[in-house]
Structure 1
Amino acid sequence: MVITEEHDSNVTASFELHVISQGVGNLHNFVSVSKDIWPWVDYIHIREKQQPPKQRREWANQLHQSGVPSDRIVINGVHEVGQGEGLAGVHWGQEDFSKSALSISDIRKRIRIGVSVHSVAEAKAAEQRGVDYVFFGHIYDSNSKPDIQPRGLKQLAEVCTNVTIPVIAIGGIGVEHVRDLRRAGARGIAVISHIWASENPKHAIRVLRQAIVESEG
């Protein structure tokens, strides 16, 4: 595998790469790493559940001020979306999604909306309400969910064949999984520990992007 030093400012839209924050509240580390890796990433998610929405928006501001383009930034779990204009979008968990009284069709005129799902039924419900994409997982053993059985490629493929919107695989994903995930029908991947647990996040993201490019063949 040959890893280039060039920043890929036009990342592969056909197979998305999402990076999710650790949820540990370390703003300095998050910004420091994100400003190095964003050229190889389609979206960077601010998923800090312990923080109020106002604080998550401040993280988004800090990220943008560090040089990360606003159209790469997603804030998770917020509903006051009017204040988030200019960002790439919002992402909801099932609880956020079920409680939302917002008109998704109206929100989509301004930003992209994603929802985390765990079954075919949830994926279909999200698609019917008009979301742009879903996260499905966890696919492999994951450090963030050590006591929960992974759903695996078979369940991923089932979800992918039952909806037309992009399904983004998440959970325990490494470079060696990209081709299998793509064959199962995934149209992108989301990673956490692959980046944040790495001693060299910039190299880790470049290797992952290269694996995505090579999986196209």
Structure 2
Amino acid sequence: MRNIDLSLYLVTDRDMLRGYALPELVKTAVENGVTTVQLREKDASTREFIQLAVDLKKVLDPLNIPLIINDRVDVALATDASGVHLGQNDMPVSIARNLLGPDKIIGLSVETREDLETVDALNPDYLGVSPIFSTPTKTDTINEWELDGLRLVSEKTDFPLVAIGGINAENAQNVMDHGADGLAVVSAICASEDPGQAAALLRKEIDLVMGHQYQS
């Protein structure tokens, strides 16, 4: 696995921001414990998507925080992002790897048990287990894994697992105890009135499970 700390993984959603510019929110979140950022834009034009990625890289690159682009391999290439996160209906992992090269990060969502049957051959860098709990930020998923499902995934694969969907500071420890290596959050930070405090609370819960203190 490429050198990446997946423990607190922020997935952006500009529609949720409460008066914050996206780079400002991301900077605050990273300063309070976020270790990886995924730029997710479903409606932006290619030009706007690229500009957003460039703006975030100005914040993240000096801090050595990876920027992952959701779905769009072309945007990742255009901005020299750290990698991409792909769904089951996006570009195949093998083609994305050929385009991006061996040093970029590729994450892959798994939404069903059938998805797990092919991941070994695809060899992504990590799996996004989606969704753990139902969430209004992602409505195109097939089912909820819930905690028992997450445990099943952790028993069937050795890939690092990032859990996403309905995760917050209240359930963070429980999710990690069921096999997650990292927690991906959207609304828990993006929709917070105090994103820095929200990130810090999540960071504290994660560190209690991982047994170490995050060093910013």
Normalising by the residue count of structure 1, what TM-score does the alignment of the two structures yield?
Answer: 0.81
**Equivalent-residue separation in structure 2 for 1:142 and 1:162 (angstroms):** 25
Contact 2:70 2:86 in 1 (8 A): yes
2:108 alignment partner, SS class: strand
Correspondent of 1:31 among 11, 23, 28? 23
Give the superposition deviation at 1:172.
0.6
2:195 corresponds to: 201
**Equivalent-residue separation in structure 2 for 1:216 and 1:56 (angstroms):** 34
From the superposition, tell whether residues 131 and 101 of structure 1 become closer, same or farther in structure 2 (CA, over 3 Å).
Answer: closer
From the superposition, tell whether residues 37 and 46 of structure 1 become closer, same or farther in structure 2 (CA, over 3 Å).
Answer: same
2:137 corresponds to: 144
Contact 1:24 1:48 in 2 (8 A): no
Contact 1:156 1:184 in 2 (8 A): yes
2:15 alignment partner, SS class: coil
C-alpha RMSD of matched pairs (Å): 2.7
1:68 corresponds to: 60
**Equivalent-residue separation in structure 1 for 2:107 and 2:138 (angstroms):** 21
Which amino acid is the alignment partner of residue 83 of structure 1?
A: A
1:188 corresponds to: 182
1:6 corresponds to: none
The count of aligned residue pairs is 202
**Equivalent-residue separation in structure 1 for 2:174 and 2:71 (angstroms):** 30
CA-to-partner distance for each residue in 1:103-140, whole Å, 9 max, x for gaps? 62673523100011102321342332111011112112
From the superposition, tell whether residues 106 and 94 of structure 1 become closer, same or farther in structure 2 (CA, over 3 Å).
Answer: same
2:214 corresponds to: none
2:78 corresponds to: 83
Structure 1 spans left out of the alignment, 5+ residues: 1-11
Q: Which runs of 4+ in 1 moved over 4 A?
A: 25-28, 145-149
**Equivalent-residue separation in structure 2 for 1:134 and 1:127 (angstroms):** 11
From the superposition, tell whether residues 28 and 177 of structure 1 become closer, same or farther in structure 2 (CA, over 3 Å).
Answer: closer
Correspondent of 1:160 among 150, 154, 161? 154
1:50 corresponds to: 43
Contact 2:73 2:96 in 1 (8 A): no
Q: Which has the higher contact order (CA 8 A, sep 6+)?
A: 2
Contact 1:18 1:45 in 2 (8 A): yes
Contact 1:94 1:116 in 2 (8 A): yes
CA-to-partner distance for each residue in 1:164-199, whole Å, 9 max, x for gaps? 111111011011222211221111110001011111
**Equivalent-residue separation in structure 1 for 2:140 and 2:11 (angstroms):** 20
Give the superposition deviation at 1:71.
4.1
**Equivalent-residue separation in structure 2 for 1:200 and 1:155 (angstroms):** 32
**Equivalent-residue separation in structure 1 for 2:95 and 2:16 (angstroms):** 28
CA-to-partner distance for each residue in 1:16-64, whole Å, 9 max, x for gaps? 2111111539796212201211131121111101124443221110112
Normalising by the residue count of structure 2, what TM-score does the alignment of the two structures yield?
Answer: 0.81
Which amino acid is the alignment partner of residue 173 of structure 2?
A: R
**Equivalent-residue separation in structure 2 for 1:207 and 1:129 (angstroms):** 35
From the superposition, tell whether residues 30 and 127 of structure 1 become closer, same or farther in structure 2 (CA, over 3 Å).
Answer: farther
Correspondent of 1:112 among 105, 109, 116? 105
From the superposition, tell whether residues 28 and 127 of structure 1 become closer, same or farther in structure 2 (CA, over 3 Å).
Answer: farther
**Equivalent-residue separation in structure 1 for 2:67 and 2:187 (angstroms):** 19
Q: State whether structure 2 residue 171 is matched by structure 1 residue 177.
A: yes
Which amino acid is the alignment partner of residue 26 of structure 2?
A: S
1:24 alignment partner, SS class: helix
